Amino acid sequence: MGLDNEAERERQRAIARATAAKIDEIELEMIADIFDDETWAGKRRVPAAASGIAIAAPPSLDTDRALGAEELPDAAAVPSSAPAVEEAAILYANDQLGAACTVLRASLAEAGSERQPWWMLFDLYQILGQESEFDSVAIDYASRFETSPPAWTPLSPAGTAPARQFAGAVPTAVLSGKLDESIEAQLARVLAPSPSPLVRFEFQAVTHATPAGCALLLSALQALRAGERELVLAGADQLATLLRPMLAIGERTASEAPWLLLLELLLLANREKDFEETAMDYCLTFEVSPPSFEAPKLAAISLGAGPGPAADRFLLPAAIRGDATALLDAIAAHAARYPALVLDCSRLAHIDYAAANALAAQLRGMADQGRDVVLRDLNHVVAVLLRLLGAGELVRLYAHKY
């Protein structure tokens, strides 16, 4: 999502690590020249910075938690070869998160090329709010796999805010084809009063845009932002790419709507630098004062979504504990309205063993009846737990990406 102070600090840390690796490489080459070039070149390990690994770049509108392709099995649905993975999932389900962290961290030295124990540990530290431990493991992860480490994105501790405990359908506008006056009905639907704190937009199937369509979407996004609704923007990067060719610097007679829509997307993503650059071009084109950047109270969740069912997703709450009958009944009622059931697990930080077992049993039953059941944006610990309980055999499990 947008650049902020923590993202900038992480970028600087990545640059520093890459610089240090480059210095190491130069020193090794100097030693190789002094001694035996062929022997040193053949045996030395190429530093990450010199082996094609890119330095972490500022994030785009796509987030690290981009959705996986529908046709590919998710890593979380594949049995792990590390015994600690299953042990940690069971400890987690029994409210022993600290013990689960200990088990996973002790297993990293023997995990080889398997990344799942690392991913689970990252999620647990983010659930527990243990940033220093997360950073320590992230550095080891970058060294082991020669890749940029994941950024700290804490999962809200269970039950911290009433909005995080909301469960239910998320109003969704699935926009496809031409972005024009025809989107008005879809926008009216998501603008209608709803108990959901979230509103979701699907942009990935948009192929053309008109100034009138841009103006309608801009008005809807501004109204939702003013109402402090939390936005999930799937395919926002594709939409931004579509808008940019419509912006011609210096063409004062052109419509302002595409410019203002792109600026709104950048503001929602909290991308201040890109916003300011685009605002200056807008100012030069229309000879008006540039819009000012005001960081949104709730930055949009921006996803690079793959193809998915055109249905409202059912958002799971931050915590599910004990008797989950009411929640399971609500899921069943929601599922009755759509041919596919898609559960949004992006807020789910904790589910205990009893609730997970009941949820897995219900989802298996739905899948047995021929219904398409998909769980999206799971944390990796919950994904492993549900697989252990048999949900992964018929239900598609997609954990968020690191």
Looking at residue 339, which CATH number applies to its domain? 3.30.750.24
**Is 167 inside a domain boundary?**
no
Q: Classify residue 5: in a domain, yes or no.
A: yes
Short-list 207, 205, 200, 265, CA closest to 236 = 265
pTM above 0.85, yes or no: no
Sheet-wide strand order for 172-179: 172-179, 198-209, 230-234, 301-303
Domain boundary, last residue among 302, 333, 366: 302
Q: Which two tokens stand for residue 207?
A: 């192929």
The amino acid occupying position 401 is K
- In-domain check, residue 183: yes
| Helical residues (DSSP H) of 35-161, grouped into ranges | 37-43, 83-93, 97-107, 116-128, 131-145
Q: Which residue has the tokens 């100097």?
A: 30
Q: Are residues 252 and 372 in the same domain?
A: no
- Inside any domain, residue 202: yes
Total tally of structural domains belonging to the chain? 3
Domain containing 36 equals 1-57
Other residues' Cβ atoms within 10 Å of the Cβ of residue 124 = 26
3-state SS assignment for residue 78:
coil
**Quick one: 179 and 291 in the same domain?**
yes
Domain CATH for 185: 3.30.750
Q: 330 with 391, same domain?
A: yes
* 177 and 289 inside one domain: yes
Q: Residue-wise pLDDT tens for the chain (402 aa)?
A: 444 555 555 555 554 455 445 444 444 443 333 333 332 233 222 223 322 222 233 333 433 333 333 434 454 444 556 789 999 999 999 999 999 999 999 999 988 889 999 999 999 999 999 999 999 999 999 999 999 888 888 876 544 556 678 888 888 898 999 999 999 999 998 999 888 888 889 898 899 999 999 999 999 999 999 988 888 888 888 899 999 999 999 888 899 999 999 999 999 988 999 999 999 999 999 999 888 898 887 777 766 545 444 557 899 999 999 999 999 999 999 999 888 899 989 889 999 999 999 999 999 999 999 889 999 889 999 999 999 999 988 899 999 888
What pLDDT is recorded for position 49? 30
